[in-house]
């Protein structure tokens, strides 16, 4: 392989790589604003200037190809002087907005000003003033004064989102960004430009002024907005989710995620108006809050009053692998369940060729693989509905899905059941009809795994505490906290809901039945899954890790 020397160290590289790519691959940082590994090269910020032997002038590392025998110096006096000059130039008209800028704490310009700036400016004239708080689109606010014209947002809109909506206008120090005439910056991926903007020029209208980055904990997780399962970071302050951002995973979502997943998959977690806080039983026509012990005993007592053929069980593509596996095991072991299925939430035509899937659930494939489907002569979902019509089905147990909202007829039919038990985190059409309502932890409050449309099994971790999770942490040795992958110091404040993961609720119910589920942790459930479901054989949470693992299954390409 060809070799290059950077700062006195020799490295191999692949033909076609640039200096900045080779340096990055080998742990050498070359400062950059306009360069991004997933965008075309523009070479307009000039902060990545380096000195190359036998070249008369400094070159920009982002566009200069590495060559065999090339000797590069990123720390020479000439390089540092040029870098300082570029920083001084960029900062000439930049406003002193750091105290009020949402980007503070994760701003490249702020970081580079400390690392590569001189700490003073020779510019004494008045700074160029530009428009502030410009609404580029429904989700993006633009501050033209902060913009350093790196063009990342323009290139992203054109090359990644496929919607050429942004452009530069004017020249020199009056240059700014705007949409094309008659256009609005409203494509499904606009908020990725917030992440790649190296300064605070582009900010989220939803997140603006809510929190500083150093005031939040961040937890690695997975988006539940569709079957893609984009890798995310959940940012939490005072036990409340403030924002979601994409986490790089080249085999799933690359660097990106859609705006819908970023904005609409976490608001329910801390919604005090709709969150279900504690178990409820219907008394005299009203759902009344009770203890867990009362709810468990009442649920088991009433389930026992029916013949097994009169009960149907509906799992969920919104629930984890662990929850679905425990659900089918509980129902089959204790009620010989054959009437078992889950609802598909597919919206034809809603997907695209970037990330968004037509399947609006995160774990359809996981539900199928763990056995959430009719067995023997059992009924599927459509047949269960018909069974309710004909009175063959008198009791229905629904886990983490709003079946009533699928069809107006379903709502009417569910109201006619003799018994409806529902697991849910938030109030919905189905919960209003429940006879026994059991509150479940949201995806951001529990451990678990999901399987995406391509067969990638990925981990979710708790970022927000429930009463149940806080109690379990109190009993856990400090040495094991790191394994959770969550910062717990923020959890002392903020509302905590009385909710449990579905697998744990099913375990409580099973203690009143002949066949007991003896799981203590989500890991125990997954260990059982790995031993009995061939697609998960040999896997554990450590092997799945941060990036997930591709499983092999003939069901991956099936429509689920």
CA angle 470, 330, 415 (to 5 degrees): 90
pLDDT, residue 397, reads 98
On whether both 330 and 243 belong to a single domain, the answer is: no
As given in the structure block, the two tokens for residue 364 are: 């359809």
Most confident of 170-174, 330-334, 474-478, 554-558: 330-334
* DSSP symbol at 22: H
pLDDT, residue 113, reads 92
On whether both 76 and 157 belong to a single domain, the answer is: no
Residue 477 has pLDDT above 90, yes or no: no
Where does 485-532 have alpha helices with state H? Answer: 502-510, 522-532
Tens digit of each residue's pLDDT (9 = 90 or more) over 167-223: 999 988 899 999 999 889 999 999 999 999 999 999 999 999 999 999 999 999 999
Residue 453: which region, alpha, beta or left (left: phi > 0; alpha: psi -120 to 50)?
alpha
On whether both 405 and 460 belong to a single domain, the answer is: yes
- In a domain? residue 360: yes
As given in the structure block, the two tokens for residue 120 are: 């003073």
Total number of domains in the chain: 3
On whether both 251 and 214 belong to a single domain, the answer is: yes
pLDDT, residue 559, reads 46
- Name the band, by pLDDT with cuts 50, 70 and 90, for residue 511: very high
Q: Which residues pair with 219 in a beta bridge?
A: 234
pLDDT, residue 468, reads 87
On whether both 162 and 306 belong to a single domain, the answer is: no
Tens digit of each residue's pLDDT (9 = 90 or more) over 4-19: 999 999 999 999 999 9
Q: Which residues pair with 399 in a beta bridge?
A: 423
As given in the structure block, the two tokens for residue 358 are: 């037509």
Tens digit of each residue's pLDDT (9 = 90 or more) over 442-464: 999 999 999 999 999 999 999 99
Q: Which residues pair with 422 in a beta bridge?
A: 398, 437
Q: Which of 111, 126, 31 is nearest to 79 (CA)?
A: 31
Tens digit of each residue's pLDDT (9 = 90 or more) over 332-369: 999 999 999 999 999 999 999 999 999 999 999 999 99
On whether both 247 and 296 belong to a single domain, the answer is: no
CATH number at residue 471: 3.40.50.740
Q: Which of 68, 91, 114 is the last residue in one of the domains? A: 91
* 3-state SS assignment for residue 487: coil
| Beta-sheet pairing, 311-314 with 395-399 | parallel
Range of the domain at 53: 3-91
- In a domain? residue 115: no
* 3-state SS assignment for residue 31: coil
Contacts of residue 167, Cβ cutoff 8 Å, sequence gap at least 6:
154, 177, 178, 179, 180
User: Exposed/middle/buried for 58, CB within 10 Å: 0-12, 13-18, 19+?
Assistant: buried
As given in the structure block, the two tokens for residue 216 are: 């939040």
Q: Which of 200, 99, 96 is nearest to 150 (CA)?
A: 200
**What is the percent of the chain where pLDDT is above 70?**
96
Q: Which of 231, 264, 297 is the last residue in one of the domains? A: 264
pLDDT, residue 488, reads 52
pLDDT, residue 378, reads 87
Q: HSE, CB side, 13 Å, CA atoms: give it for residue 483.
A: 12
């Amino acid at each position: 392989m060809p070799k290059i020397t950077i700062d006195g160290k020799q490295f191999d590289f692949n033909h076609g790589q640039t200096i900045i790519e080779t340096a990055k691959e080998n742990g050498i940082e070359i400062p950059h604003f306009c360069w991004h590994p997933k965008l075309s090269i523009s070479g307009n910020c000039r902060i990545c200037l380096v000195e190359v032997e036998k070249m008369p002038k400094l070159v920009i590392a982002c566009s200069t190809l590495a060559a065999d025998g090339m000797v590069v110096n990123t720390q020479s006096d000439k390089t540092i002087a040029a870098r300082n000059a570029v920083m001084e130039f960029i900062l000439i008209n930049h406003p002193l907005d750091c105290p009020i800028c949402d980007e503070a704490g994760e701003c490249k310009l702020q970081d580079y000003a400390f690392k590569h700036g001189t700490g003073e400016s020779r510019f004494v004239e008045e700074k160029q003033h530009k428009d502030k708080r410009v609404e580029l689109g429904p989700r993006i606010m633009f501050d033209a004064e902060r913009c350093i014209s790196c063009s990342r947002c323009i290139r992203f809109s054109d090359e990644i989102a496929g919607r050429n909506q942004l452009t530069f206008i004017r020249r020199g120090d009056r240059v700014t960004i705007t949409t094309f005439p008659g256009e609005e910056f409203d494509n499904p991926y606009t908020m990725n430009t917030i992440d790649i903007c190296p300064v605070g020029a582009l900010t989220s209208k939803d997140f603006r002024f809510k929190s500083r980055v150093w005031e939040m904990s961040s937890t690695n997780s997975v988006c539940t907005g569709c079957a893609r399962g984009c890798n995310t970071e959940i940012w939490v302050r005072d036990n409340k989710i403030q924002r979601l951002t994409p986490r790089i995973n080249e085999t799933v979502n690359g660097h990106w995620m859609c705006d819908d997943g970023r904005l609409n998959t976490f608001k329910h977690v801390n919604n005090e108006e709709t969150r279900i806080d504690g178990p409820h039983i219907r008394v005299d026509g009203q759902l009344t809050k009770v203890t867990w012990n009362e709810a468990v005993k009442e649920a088991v007592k009433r389930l026992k009053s029916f013949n097994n053929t009169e009960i149907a069980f509906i799992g969920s593509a919104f629930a984890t692998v662990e929850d679905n596996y425990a659900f089918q095991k509980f129902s089959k072991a204790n009620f010989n369940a054959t009437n078992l299925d889950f609802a598909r939430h597919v919206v034809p035509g809603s997907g695209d060729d970037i990330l968004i899937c037509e399947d609006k659930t995160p774990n359809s494939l996981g539900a199928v693989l763990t056995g959430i489907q009719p067995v023997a002569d059992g009924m599927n979902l459509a047949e269960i509905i018909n069974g309710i019509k004909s009175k063959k089905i008198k009791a229905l147990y629904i886990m983490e899905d709003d079946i009533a909202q699928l069809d107006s007829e379903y709502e009417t039919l569910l109201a006619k059941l003799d018994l409806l038990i529902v697991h849910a985190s938030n109030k919905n059409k189905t919960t209003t009809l429940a006879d026994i309502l059991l509150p479940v932890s949201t995806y951001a409050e529990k451990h678990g795994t999901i399987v995406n449309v391509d067969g990638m099994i990925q981990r979710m971790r708790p970022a927000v505490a429930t009463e149940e999770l806080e109690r379990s942490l109190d009993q856990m040795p400090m040495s094991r906290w790191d394994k959770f992958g969550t910062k717990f110091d923020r959890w002392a404040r903020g509302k905590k809901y009385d909710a449990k993961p579905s697998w744990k609720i099913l375990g409580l119910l099973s203690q009143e039945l002949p066949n007991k589920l003896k799981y203590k942790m989500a890991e125990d459930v997954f260990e059982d899954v790995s031993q009995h479901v061939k697609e998960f054989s040999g896997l554990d949470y450590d092997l799945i890790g941060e990036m997930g693992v591709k499983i092999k299954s003939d069901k991956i390409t099936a429509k689920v």
